[in-house]
Structures are given as C-alpha cells and as structure tokens.
Structure 1
Amino acid sequence: MGDILFLAHRMPFPPDRGDKIRSHHLLKSLADIAAVHVACFGDTDADFTHEHELAAVASSHCLVRRSKSMVRAGLEALASGNPVSLTAFGHRDIHDWVGRTLRQQTIQTIVVFSGQMGQYIPASFKGRVVVDLCDVDSAKFEAYAKDGSWPRRWIDAREGKLLSGVEEALSDRADTTVLISDVEAELFRSRISDPAAHQVAAIRNGIDFDFFNPSTVAPQPDLAASTGPNIVFTGQMDYAPNIGAAIRVMDRILPAIRAVHPDATFHLVGRAPVSKLTARDGQDGIRVWGEVPDVRPFLAGADIVMAPLEIARGVQNKVLEAMAMARPVVLSSEAATGIDAVDGDHFAIGDDDQDLIAAALDLLSDGPKSLQMAAAARRYVTTEQSWSAMLSPLASICGFDLSTGERNAA
C-alpha cells in the first residue's frame, strides 16, 4: 500500500474548535491506516506551539502561517473571479510542498479536508481522491445572504454561487465526497447536476467521551457558587451562526427565563467574542467569558446547555460535548441535525422561541426529569457516537484493505 497526503485548511492541533476537532480525529485515524504526509495552515502563534504534536503523527508535514487578510483575499477574489474563501487559503509554499511530496513519496490517496484545499490537487495526480467537504458551505453563504444587509448580502450571495460550482467540480474530481451527516449529504446531492455520477458518503462527528467525562471534572467555581440556574452556550464567538444564537438567547429567551428565575445567569463561553457580545457582559444576568483554558468546567456547572442556532450545518460538537458531560441540552431542530438522539429523552428540541423557553423552564423546575435526560444523553453518546465507530468506513473510502490487520508502515 502507498501513503496518504492529507490537506487541511487549519492545523489539526489542538482540537479546540469544530473544524479542528474533526480534522484532528480524521488525521489520527488516517495515521492508523497508512503513513500520512500533511499540509495545513496555522492561524495563530498557539497553532505553531503544537507543531511537535503534528510531527509526531505525520511522516512529513508542511505548516504555513495564513497571513493573508480577508480584505486582500476579497480584492484578489474579485479580480480573479474566484470565491474569497479559496483565495484566502491560496499559498505558493503549499503548492510547492505538495508537488515535491508527490514526486518523492508513493502517494496512493489524497484526502482533502474542507473545500478550500481542493485547489492543491494536481491535475496530473492519478491516485484516489477523497474530499471531506464537512458542510455544504455554498448553502450556508446563501442563507447568510438571505438574512443579511447590503453590501454583505451581495458578498455572501456571490460566495455562495461560486462555491456551489467549486463544490461540484471537486466532487467530479473525487472518488468519494464526504459530508458530515446524512442530511448534509442529501442536501449536497440535491444541488449537483448529476447525483448518480457522484459517490457521496456521510461520516458523522464523534465525541471523545473519556475526555468529556463529568466524573473527572469539577464545576467552574463561579458557576458552582451561583444561587440561580446557570445556562451555558459554548462556541467560536466570531462565527455568525453562534453570534446569532447568543443574541437570540440574550434578547428573546433569557428574559422569559429570568421572569421565573430572577437569578438565572447566561454564560457565553468561547474565544473571540465580537463587540456586540462583549458589550452585554454584566447586563441582565449575562456573563461573557471569552476564551477559556477548558470548556468542561463550564459545562459541568451548567443547569442547562442551550444551542438555539438558526443556521447550522452538519453535526454540532458543542451539543455532543454537553451530552457527554451529562448535561440537559435545549436546542433548535437545526442544531440537532445529524445527531440521531430522541427529542424528550436525550435532549429537548424547540421549534421556536416559545418552545425553547418552555423546554428550559420545564427542565429547571423538574430536577428528576433533568437528571434523567442528562444521564440518557451521556449513555447515548458513549454507545452511539464514538470517534472509532464514526470513522470505521474511512479505510475503505480511502482505498485501503485492512483485512489482513497490517498497517502500512511509515
């Protein structure tokens, strides 16, 4: 068997945000199949402090700092007619490293993580290509455009239209196109011209339930000392869907909860909160924590974890993490997509603000029901959502026969 070339738009270490969590576990699984050579971008100094972890997994690697500003990427994209998100991840050093690696190594399969990295697949490559799009990004930008204001609406509409063509072209090039859920895979099939000509598969996100284990984590002290219920939302807080969900809680859900529980506090936990969120810190039962070293103590101290996303693609890691920490989760149907748990047993889905408020108040008033749901949530993820189970089809998709039980030596 040959080796694997893995192209990721972000450094897979540390696994501390949604896309990096998926690429991290994908890379580790690939490394159990064959020797892996990795090209990826680092966004921050912290990414580069973890380069030794990447080197320990990869047979060779190329880690490049992504320094191109979005303004520059936008201007280049307008001039070239390309999507901004592809232009932002264009870099000559990765092109050159990929070329050298293909000349020097026996690469059997190229695995592309996220559509931005498809630009590095050489037209001359004759091996297998697997593209993990994760989500249908073009549909996400179309949703942004629908709800946005000028000029952002035009920018997002352009991005959605161009990305749709890129996604289909990548799927034409790929032996298999992977999406993060059956729902997302079906959405992708509905948007391409000849679905029967494309091999599309779903690989759901898993959860490291040994790491997210409530028996090993103490609640964050401020939450533990709180006299009222703690409502927690986690996520990357410069990401538009998370911003929208947080504002939804602050403006439309939390006031109704505080009408019944005046001491209730909404804890917003996640890196890079935008100014419209930080400005609310300390107001009307709102705490904006920003980046924290470990999200688990905040989950451990939560009476309820909320995820009322109105735009959600794929599987929400924040939901799986809360469930693994045995917390009752109140969420929108969009945030529940791709998680085959049962509404009312493993979490509580609300179709609108009033449903979400009612579900939260019900759980806050019924301690035994809340504990029962929390325990059921933990059981569900440990039995149904392990990373090893989710990634079990990966070897076959990548064209490797591991029936002999032998791993390709690095």
Structure 2
Amino acid sequence: MKILYLVHRLPYPPNKGDKVRSYHLLKHLAARHEVHLGTFIDDPDDEQHLPRVRALCAGLHAARLNPRTAKLLSLRGLLSGEALSLPYYRDAGLRAWVDEAAARVGFDAAVVFSGVMAQYAPPGLRRLVDFVDVDSAKWRDYAPEHAWPLSWLYRREFEKLLGFEQRVARDAACSFFVTDNEVALFRALSPGRELRLAALGNGVDADFFMPDAARASPFAAGELPLVFTGAMDYWPNVDAVGWFVRDMLPALRQRFPALRFHIVGRSPAPAVQALAGEAVNVTGTVPDVRPFLQHAAAVVAPLRLARGIQNKVLEAMAMARPVVAAGSCVRAIAAAAPAGLLPADTEDDYVQRVGALLADREAADAAGRAARDFVLGAYSWDAHLAGLDRHLEAA
C-alpha cells in the first residue's frame, strides 16, 4: 500500500519517548508498505540522521521548526480561537508537499502520529491516528502547577485541543492510544460520541537494550549509582527529578552515604542543572544510555505528571535493572506489578523500596533479571504494532 505517514518530529534517533514509538512504527510500516513521510526537524542535531530516515521512505519532506519562533507564532491561536498547538506545527511548505504528493502518488491511507498532525491529512483519505496519550489532558494537569497567566493558558489549551482531538477521532477509521487507561480517559472526556478507539501498546528493542559484560561502567569506583533517564527539558521529567532530589534523596543518602543520583538525558533545563552537586550528577546528552542503565544499582521514575507506558521504564527493565516507578506507570505496563518493577506513590514509598534494593544487591540483581524476562515475553514491538495492520488492510 501507499501510506502517507505524518509525524510531528523526525522519528530518529529514538532517544526520547515519542521518537522511540514513531521510529518503530516507521520501521513496521516500511517493512510492509511504500511510506511517504511528512515531518518536522526541531533539533539541528537531527539533520545528520536524515539519510537513515530517507532510506526507509519512498518520499520524505522534513520541515525545519525553530521552537522559539514556533512558540511565538503559536500565539496566533489566541486570535483564531484554536489550540496553540496547531499553529505551532503549521508550515506552508509541508502543506504544499502533502498536497502535491497526494495528487502524484495516490495514497491508500494516512497514518497520523500525534493528533496535531491530522491538520495535514488530505480530506477523504482513510486515516489511522496514533494519539499515543491524551495530549489535551496533559495541559489540564499542568495548569494547577503554574500561576496565572500560565494556569489560564494551559486550561484554555486543554479545552481547545480536546475539541480538536474529538473532531479528529470522529473522522478517523480508528484512533489509537498507548494503554487501555488512555482509551478510557478519552472516552470519559468525550461522552455521547461514537468513536472508534483502541489501545496500541509500546514495545522495547530488547536486542539493543541488553546487558553486555564487556560494557564499561561510567561510574566512579565505590559509588552507589541510582539513575533516572529521559529528555530533561520535558516538564514531567524536570518535576520528577526535582521532587526526588528534594524529598527522597536526603533520607537515602543518610542511610547510604556512597549513593549518587545520576540524571541522564539531553537538554537539561536550568532547574535540572541547578540540582548538580556532590550527591547529584547531571550528564546532559550521552552517546549511549545503556552503560548508565546496566551499571546502575537501581533505576527510578518518580513521575507525578506523566501517564501511559514509559519507554524509559521498559528500557531499564530490558537492561535487567530493577525499577521503582510511579504507580500509574507500573499499572500502565501490567495490571499486577511484575517482578523487578516496584510501584511507589509517596516519598516514603520511594525511600523504602529504593532502600531495600540498595541494601540487598543480590536480590536487586535477581529482580532485574526477572524484569528483563517480563519484557522479553510481553513487549515485542512487532506484536503490539500488528494491531495497526488490520485497519490498514481494510483500506
């Protein structure tokens, strides 16, 4: 089939949650169909990866997006009455490419990754939309964390973006979310609407994220390393590490003086950089996250403002490390917490569960091996993405 694939960010390298999912979806589609990709590049470092992405595609248009300029231009939404996210991702060049390619190629279907990209899908073309999460609900969750006028702006974005998402879902052959909980949330936010929704879970590349005895440790001898990974300019990650350093790390350090918390990820925000010190290492971008995961005593994901399946958790589990994560993240991965994945919701939960892992390293290693076994059995990318195929075949 001839597929138009629309993605809000170049799906390579798979170095953050959305790009992990969009890249594996691209690989899945390209192995079976002729794919024409319309996307944005919002990080100049991603330019070097265009040849790798182009090799998977029959056609490619990557519009350049300057986040600072796009934020200013997005304010046009206040005048047009639409969600600010829509003009943020609006580009005349991408629109012209989609229109020209649709006329020339004759697409059989469009696969849309992230609801905002549905504004580019040609009318009348069968659409499958991967919302991943209910993005509008994210803005609702942000509002109480900020003072006016941001609180007002975030509540407005929730209302306007939800209305757009509902219209997109109404016109889609099927709309996908990463978990059953996200499906249920969207249904609850859209009462009385007949929508075709389904869960399409994440996976993990367990051949890439695999322990290797030859992989050297990045940590100093004698330290007890605790690790968090993620894009560190993303607000839920910023909130998570700030909360952990402020409210959990002192109690853990009192019991384990050799403990050092490593925040591993690109583009650390100023609030994250300010955490660096004797007990906290902020790495910034690293060439390979696997050494940090493999040699960690344990991994934490104290996310208070994120839902859905967290790739950072699956990757740590695939690297055979025990993980202490927010209960909502654990429930998104499995109805009952699998061995090696420990739920925590309060400061005391984190201190007790991380402390237990640090106190018994042999038991922690066994929990890590069990975590990898779980991922191998339950989180294959192809098995999950096959749920998309029957909807394409119907086209």
Q: Quick one: which of 322, 327, 332 aligns to 1:333? A: 327
C-alpha offsets along residues 157-180 of structure 1, whole Å, 9 cap, x if unaligned?
Answer: 111111110110000110100001
CA distance in 2, matches of 1:72, 1:219: 44
1:188 aligned partner, one-letter code: F
Q: Quick one: which of 203, 207, 210 aligns to 1:210? A: 207
- Once the two structures are TM-superposed, the CA of residue 344 in structure 1 deviates from its matched residue by 6.3
C-alpha offsets along residues 135-177 of structure 1, whole Å, 9 cap, x if unaligned?
Answer: 0011111010022212211111111111110110000110100
Runs of 4+ in 1 over 4 A off after TM superposition: none
Percent of paired sites with the same residue: 39
| 2:188 maps to 1:190 | yes
Q: Which residue of 2 aligns with 1:21?
A: 20
Q: Which residue of 1 aligns with 2:37?
A: 38
Contact 2:321–2:340, Cα closer than 8 Å, also in 1: no
Which of 160-169 and 41-50 deviates more? 41-50
CA distance in 2, matches of 1:161, 1:395: 32
C-alpha offsets along residues 14-69 of structure 1, whole Å, 9 cap, x if unaligned?
Answer: 11111111000001111122111110001122222111111111111111101262
| 2:78 maps to 1:78 | yes
Q: Which residue of 2 aligns with 1:346?
A: 340
1:78 aligned partner, one-letter code: L
Give the alignment of 1:3-402 within 5 angstroms: 3-67=2-66, 69-123=69-123, 125=124, 127-195=125-193, 197-215=194-212, 218-221=215-218, 223=219, 225-283=220-278, 285-340=279-334, 342-343=336-337, 345-399=339-393
| Cα 1:214/1:400, change in 2 over 3 Å | farther
C-alpha offsets along residues 203-255 of structure 1, whole Å, 9 cap, x if unaligned?
Answer: 1110000000012662433x1x3323111000011111000100011101110
CA distance in 1, matches of 2:234, 2:264: 13
CA distance in 1, matches of 2:338, 2:129: 35
Q: Secondary structure at the match of 2:46?
A: helix
Contact 1:33–1:395, Cα closer than 8 Å, also in 2: no
C-alpha offsets along residues 315-360 of structure 1, whole Å, 9 cap, x if unaligned?
Answer: 1000000000000101111222421174362311112110111001
- Once the two structures are TM-superposed, the CA of residue 304 in structure 1 deviates from its matched residue by 0.8
CA distance in 2, matches of 1:55, 1:8: 14
Q: Which has the higher contact order (CA 8 A, sep 6+)?
A: 1
State the number of aligned residues.
394
Contact 1:228–1:261, Cα closer than 8 Å, also in 2: no
TM-score by length of 1: 0.93
Which of 330-339 and 134-143 deviates more? 330-339
Q: Which residue of 2 aligns with 1:405?
A: none
C-alpha offsets along residues 337-390 of structure 1, whole Å, 9 cap, x if unaligned?
Answer: 421174362311112110111001111112232122101000011111011111
- Once the two structures are TM-superposed, the CA of residue 134 in structure 1 deviates from its matched residue by 0.5
2:281 aligned partner, one-letter code: R
| Cα 1:56/1:324, change in 2 over 3 Å | same
Contact 1:109–1:399, Cα closer than 8 Å, also in 2: no
Q: Which residue of 2 aligns with 1:407?
A: none
TM-score by length of 2: 0.96
Q: Which residue of 2 aligns with 1:406?
A: none
Contact 1:136–1:313, Cα closer than 8 Å, also in 2: no
| Cα 1:280/1:180, change in 2 over 3 Å | same
Which of 322-331 and 333-342 deviates more? 333-342
Q: Secondary structure at the match of 1:391?
A: helix
Q: How well do the aligned residues superpose, as a CA RMSD in angstroms?
A: 1.5
2:247 aligned partner, one-letter code: R
